[in-house]
Each structure stands twice: as C-alpha cells, then as structure tokens.
Amino acid sequence: MTTSPLPRSPRMPRRTALRALAVAATVVAGTLPTWNASASETAPAGRAAITAEQPTYTLTIHHIGRDGRPSKFYKTTLTEFAGEGTRHGFEAEGDTGVTTVRLPKGRYLLAAMVWSGVSSEGTDWLVQPRLDLDHDTSITVDARNTKLVDVRPPDSTADFRLGNMGLSAEYDGVVRETNMAIATPTLRVAHLGPAAEAGSVKTWYDSYWATKQHSYALGNVVTGDRAPTGLYRRPTAKDLGEIKIRGAARPGTEGTSVLNVSPSTDLSTAFPLPVPAPGTTSLLVEPARGPYDIGYTTPRDEEGQGGATYEAQNVTTRPGHTTTRTFNNAVFGPSLPGGAGVVRDGNRLTVDVPMLTDGEGHAPSTPEYDTARTTLYRDGKRVKTVTGEPGQATFDVPADRATYRVTATARRTGAPGAATTVTASWTFASRQTNGRVAVPVSAVRFTPTLDLTGAAPADTALRVPVAVQGAAKGHTRALEVAYSVDGGTSWQRAAVVRGVATIPAQRSGTSVSLRARLTDTAGNTLTQTAIGAYRTR
C-alpha cells in the first residue's frame, strides 16, 4: 500500500505562452507513457491540512492487470473538484496492487494507468469522471475491461509517432482535466464508475503519423457523460485538410529545424518533427479537431546553441484545402502585432517592439542578433541608452509634457536577406499619465514574395506590398518608401501605388535595403530601415 504523491510530468519545452494550460510530457518512442492531471497544487494523499470539521472517508483502490492478477505497475491520481483542485497521487509499492487513503468528502476525477512493465505491451488507462466520496469506498481498476484505441490515417504505410488522450469533466461549474501521452499505438482505455451528468465529460484523442512525403495529425473530440471504452476511427483522405509549413534559411544557415504541432485547445501533447531548412513540410490534419498551434525553431549549431523560435497560433484549414505558413523569411523588421509597442504608465516609458519579426509577421521568442540598443531622447537631448534584447527598454521620465524620440536598433551578421541592421525611430509628444496609456507609435511591414533563401529574381522588378501597423493605420498623412543597393549609403525613392511599392530590376547578387518614412495625422513620425532586406539571384 502507498500514499505517496505522484510528481507532475515535466512540461514540453515549448517557448510560447500559447495558453496557460499544463502540457503533458514529451514521450520518446519505446519508453513508458506519461500523463498529467491539471490541478493547481499537488499534495500528499491524506493531506495534513484537513480541518476537524471536514468529514473524511477511506478509499481503497485495487489495481488489476490484464492477466487478472494484482498489478505491480500503476499510477493513479485523484483530483478534487472542490477548492484549488488538489491532486492526490499514488504509485505501486510492493506487489499487492492495492492503495488505501483517507480523503475529504467530495467529488473527484480519478485517472489510473496500469501496465505490465514491458512497454511494447502497451498501457491501460481507466478514468472515472465521477467519484463521489461520501462513505468508505472500494474501487477496482481492472485492465481486463479496457479496449484498444485504434485510430489510423488513410495511408497504411504511415508510422505511428506519438499519441495523446485527454479528458475533462465538469461539475458544479468547475472543470478538471487529465491526459496521457503514449509512444506506441497500443493504448487501451475504459470508463469506470457511474455516468456523470449529461454533456459534462469531454474526451479527445490526438495521434501523429509520418510517411516519407508528409505527416498526419489526427484528432477528434467527443462530449458525453462517460469516459471512452476503446476507440475506433478511420478518417479518409477527403476528411483531411493540409497545413503546409515553409521554413526559410539564408545561405550558410541551412540545417534541420524543429516543428512543434499541437491542438490550440485542450490538454494535449506537442508533436516534435525535424524538418529540413530551407524546405517545405506537409501536415495533413482533421479540421474538425479545431485549430492548431505551430512552433518553428531554426537550426541550432553543433553544440545545440542558437536558433530562433517562431509561433503561429490557431492555424485552421478545411477538408480538401491547403493553409500555408512561412517562417524565418525576409523581409525582417519591427512589428506591432497585437500591442501598443510603447506604453507610458505615470512617469515611466516602456518600449516592447519585436524588431526582427519575419516576413509573415511571426515575432521570434528567441531572436538571433549580435547587438541591440534602444535610446531615448527628450526634447532633442539623449536621456539613456539600454542594451540587451532588441526593442525592449524601460525609461523613467519627468512628468511635464515633452517631445520624445525613441530609436531601436538590432544588428546581426549574415548574408543579405537576413536584414543585417534593423532600425526604427519614433517621435511623439508625451506627459504624465494616470495608469497605462499607449504611446502613438507605428510600424511598416514589407511583404514581397521571396524564395526560401530570402531572394527575389534578378533582372525583374519586384512588387513589395506595404502595410502600416499601429497608430498610423488608417491615419497616415504621408508615407515614403525608398531602396538602396549600396548598404544604405544612398537611397532612391520607390513609387507606391495602392499600397504596393515597386523596386526596379537589379542584377543577380544585389543586396537591397528598404526604408520607410511615415507621418500620421497627429504629427507623430517613424523612420524605419532594413539594411540587406533581401537579395537577388
């Protein structure tokens, strides 16, 4: 018998705050499965903090393997619906297959994993969405009652890579979740106990498969009053949509990138997929599963260092349709994807502008750069320079109204097409505020069609769509676009017609820089440059 707590599974090393949801651990093929119950804290079973007024009852759980004998290998958790959702965990000690604990009265979500000790034989996962502990209770977790989860893609040659089954149960407005990741397609599952309230149990199963040509992400969600007992599904080709991932790499930076794919909703596991860079990867998905979150990390060096991580959230497609996302391609530059960029709070100015956003608008969470600095000027006099992360700084300023200029620069080495130097300079007037107030700054996005090395065709004029973000969007008084073929020493004005600038044809091997100068209707200005914005070949 044991009352030891089950430790939380480690998190998948995703670099995003896609959602504040616990994520099941990564599973390496051939290892035992891992799982995670969503809860706000973990406490030993029979927790010491039980109050004298709170009634408690004895719960005895018998774990039976597929051979009908008490199991030597199991992990079970009980998650309370009350309070903070305390999670109580139990692991096998000895060979009795029995654990006994005294717990407070209430409703619990029980999830039990039983296996033989041989990973190739698979795992049995039994879930009881409704365990009402209001008297001394005995429960039998019997692996002989499970049935196989049998979900496969239409291509019979596809190899199984990773799977995840999850469940959420709702009671009295409170939701608790649990899930388990598996490395082999041998999961067996079963429902335990009475049915819960109608529509209160949601179950999802995600599995990932791969062929030489493409990968599959199969997933479905079922709502009812019970956990599943087995699952059989055969989605057809017409049920699938395609998410095409294009990963760029400039000359000298080729290698292997890592693609992480996971459903945007529910407690699930990210599928890590190595992909060539530059290169294109096809992911066939079930659109009915909902949107997917995609993380893309560029190649690292031989010591595993470096690499920029980009993310695209809530990527959707539909049956028979292709959705394309491109990562790490030019033109790199500042962006204001969903925030103010510069904020004043009382007498403090905070700058937070992604300076090295890629051409499709993905801001890297780990930008690759050599040096970066942000400088504040007040009424023409330099106040302070901050070095460190590109486009990030905080300044304390006097309360009275003044004219400010913020200049942010990020530099990095590399071939043209990397935007070796990106600079943005904003001017605006500001004074003390009551609380956080957005400062009227803007950004200009250049989005030409380039190949996956950041290059445009030589000897051909290039159309460059130009978009304004931030305060000047819809409030632009003047916008000028210029280009340079000598690293910014001299500039030539480019014609802009209906939001598209035209850059004249350049011979092969030319590095082209881009500049934008903007004034909004309130008189705030922006000057933005990308030295080595793209190249021709």
**Unique residue bearing structure tokens 């590399």:** 414
The pLDDT of residue 121 is 83
Cβ distance 313 to 18 under 8 Å? Answer: yes
Q: What Å distances lie between residue 26 and 9, 10, 162, CA to CA?
A: 9, 8, 9
- pLDDT for 301: 77
Neighbours of 320 (CB within 10 A): 12
Q: Cα separations (Å) of 467 from 370, 443, 474, 484, 497? A: 28, 8, 10, 20, 12
Which residues in 125-148 are b (16+ Cβ under 10 Å) and which e? bbbbbbbebeeeeebebbbebbee
* Structural tokens at position 91: 């692991």
Residue 524: helix, strand or coil by DSSP? coil
Which residues are paired to 349 by β-bridges? 344, 395
Say what the pLDDT of residue 417 is: 63
The span from the CA of 491 to the CA of 484, in Å, is: 5
Contact call for residues 494 and 407 (beta carbons, < 8 A): no
SS (H, E, C) 140-169: EEEHHHCEEEEECCCCCCCEEEEEEEEEEE
Low-confidence ranges of the chain (pLDDT < 70): 1-52, 414-417
461 three-class SS: coil
| Count of beta carbons in the 10 Å neighbourhood of residue 41 | 10
Q: Rounded to whole angstroms, how far apart are CA atoms 388 and 374?
A: 9
Residue 338's pLDDT is 75
pLDDT at 49: 42
- Residues 6 or more apart whose CB falls under 8 angstroms from that of 300 comprise 255, 306, 307
> What tokens appear for 15 in the block?
């670099």
**Domains assigned to the chain:** 34-233 (2.60.40.1120), 242-327 (2.60.40), 342-536 (no CATH)
Region label for 173, one of left (φ > 0), alpha (ψ between -120 and 50) or beta (otherwise): left
What is the C-alpha separation between 32 and 432, in angstroms, rounded? 58
- Cα gap 480→499, rounded to integer Å: 11
Q: Which region holds residue 85: left if phi is over 0, alpha if psi is between -120 and 50, else beta?
A: left
Per-residue model confidence (pLDDT) at position 302: 74
Q: Could you count the other beta carbons within 10 Å of the beta carbon of residue 52?
A: 4
Q: pLDDT of 17-27, one tens digit each? A: 333 233 333 33
Beta-carbon contacts of 117 under 8 Å, excluding residues fewer than 6 positions away, are 72, 73
Give all strands (DSSP E) within 13-117, no chain letters.
34-38, 56-64, 74-80, 87-91, 98-104, 106-115
Within 417-488, residue ranges assigned H as helices are none
For the whole model, what pTM was predicted? 0.85
Per-residue pLDDT, 46: 38
Are the C-beta atoms of residues 164 and 189 closer than 8 Å to each other? no
Dihedral angle sign, alpha carbons of residues 138, 139, 140, 141: negative
State residue 305's pLDDT score: 75
| 245, 358, 420 from 248: Cα distances, Å | 10, 10, 16
Q: Give the sign of the dihedral formed by CA 459, CA 461, CA 462, CA 466.
A: positive
